[in-house]
Amino acid sequence: MNCYFPSQHALHAPSHEFFRGQLVPCHETPARAESVQQALLAAGHRVLEPQADSRVLLPRVHSPRYLGFLERAWADWLALDPANAERQPWPSTWPVRGLRDDREPAEFSARLGLYSFDSGTPLSSGSWAAAKAGCDAALSAALALAGGERAAFCASRPPGHHAGPDFMGGYCFLNQAALAAQALREQGAARVAILDVDYHHGNGTQAIFYERADVSFVSLHGDPRTEYPFFLGHADETGSGPGFGFNRNLPLPAGCDAATWFAALEMGCNHLLGQAPEALVVSLGLDTYEGDPISKFKLTTADFARLGERIAALGLPTLLVLEGGYATAQLGSNAVAVLNGIEAA
């Protein structure tokens, strides 16, 4: 399969995140993408540097105000104090209910709070460059499908599905899957379906397309009553306005087994096919793996091959984007299992 691997991913390398009240080493690391790249090459997949430029497409998915903030964020952080080069910025104040989010403050950490929905998404010097390169990879993969490829994989990081129209969170800054869906629309697919199989609900993707009928969203994830991102991902979120009926959430109990997960996948696939999409984007989170350090589903590497076979059986041109997955040593083999499952079918 054609796999787009932006080497600039490594420019996003914060050192610590908040976890249970402490600073711990980041779970979302450059080694993740390297694990995937090595496994792709070893399995004989074509690993390509993305050539497309997603610049003009980005404002079709994210607000110009948010993009402007993110692109200049590190320079603004350094302008406060050159010693900030060795420090990670954190938000400290958020515009929750009753506070104004229409006025962008001048103060840096206040702007970071305005554009963040959690304190778990550390920014580093190359976060913009890496996230933008991930979008370039997503567009490159979309162009490959438009050129007649049946499937393509975007092996990028940081992940994207928690990033919404004007917010970051959950290790995500720019939404590569949303950008890929938008690109496929603009290349002529009348309807695009997004299937999100990451352990965590893709709240950013849902928010971007919630009022649209031309891009539908189906997500299988840990129930937000107990699992991150907590504040979105319930079954009663079905889309609004023209998008009514085009959003489908299948929350599952933390700890559920593979049989339960595959039964929900079957429901999600049948729902998705009912909307007659012409192309498919898969938000391929591999944190549903039994060995994942921060998630609670129990899928095995063999289950990932079965997932690939089920995706292939949908019979749609398919663009896959890497999302979560923090069992770094097994991440590459799990990604390859999905791709080989697709190609075997």
Query: What amino acid positions are annotated as catalytic residues?
Result: 162
Q: Is 200 in the site for Zn ion (CB under 5 A)?
A: yes
Q: Which of 8, 211, 26 is nearest to 123 (CA)?
A: 26
Q: Are strands 46-48 and 247-252 parallel, antiparallel or unpaired?
A: unpaired
Indicate the residue type of 171: Y
In the chain, the largest separation of any two C-alpha atoms, in whole Å, equals 55
To ligand Q9C, the closest distance from the beta carbon of 133 in angstroms equals 17
* Binding partner of 254, given ligand Q9C, Zn ion, none, CB within 5-8 angstroms per partner class: none
Q: Is 229 in the site for Zn ion (CB under 5 A)?
A: no
Q: How far apart are CA 336 and CA 144, in angstroms?
A: 19
Q: How far apart are CA 220 and CA 215, in angstroms?
A: 17
Find the part of the chain contacting Zn ion (CB under 5 A) among 15-23, 63-71, 141-149, 200-208. Answer: 200-208
Rank residues 18 and 94 by Cβ distance to ligand Q9C and give the closer one: 18
Q: Which of 187, 219, 193, 172 is nearest to 62 (CA)?
A: 172
- Is residue 281 within 8 A of residue 319, CB to CB? The reply is yes
To Zn ion, the closest distance from the beta carbon of 252 in angstroms equals 13
For residue 186, the SS3 value is: helix
Q: Would you tell me which residues interact with ligand Q9C (CB under 6 A)?
A: 18-19, 120, 159, 162, 170-172, 198, 200, 228, 285, 287, 294, 323-324
To ligand Q9C, the closest distance from the beta carbon of 322 in angstroms equals 9
* Binding partner of 136, given Zn ion, ligand Q9C, none, CB within 5-8 angstroms per partner class: none
Within 312-331, which residues bind Zn ion (CB under 5 A)? 324
Structure tokens at 52: 């497309």
Rank residues 144 and 218 by Cβ distance to ligand Q9C and give the closer one: 218
* Binding partner of 215, given Zn ion, ligand Q9C, none, CB within 5-8 angstroms per partner class: none
Q: Where are the beta strands (DSSP E) in the chain?
A: 2-4, 16-19, 22-25, 46-48, 151-154, 192-196, 215-222, 247-252, 279-284, 318-322
Within 269-288, which residues bind Zn ion (CB under 5 A)? 285, 287
End-to-end CA distance of the chain: 13
Q: Which residue is nearest to ligand Q9C (CB)?
A: 324
Rank residues 15 and 270 by Cβ distance to ligand Q9C and give the closer one: 15
Rank residues 89 and 159 by Cβ distance to Zn ion and give the closer one: 159
To ligand Q9C, the closest distance from the beta carbon of 160 in angstroms equals 8
Burial (Cβ within 10 Å: 0-12, 13-18, ≥19) of residue 272: buried
Q: Is 198 in the site for Zn ion (CB under 5 A)?
A: yes
Rank residues 126 and 285 by Cβ distance to ligand Q9C and give the closer one: 285
Residues in touch with Zn ion (CB under 5 A): 198-200, 285, 287, 324
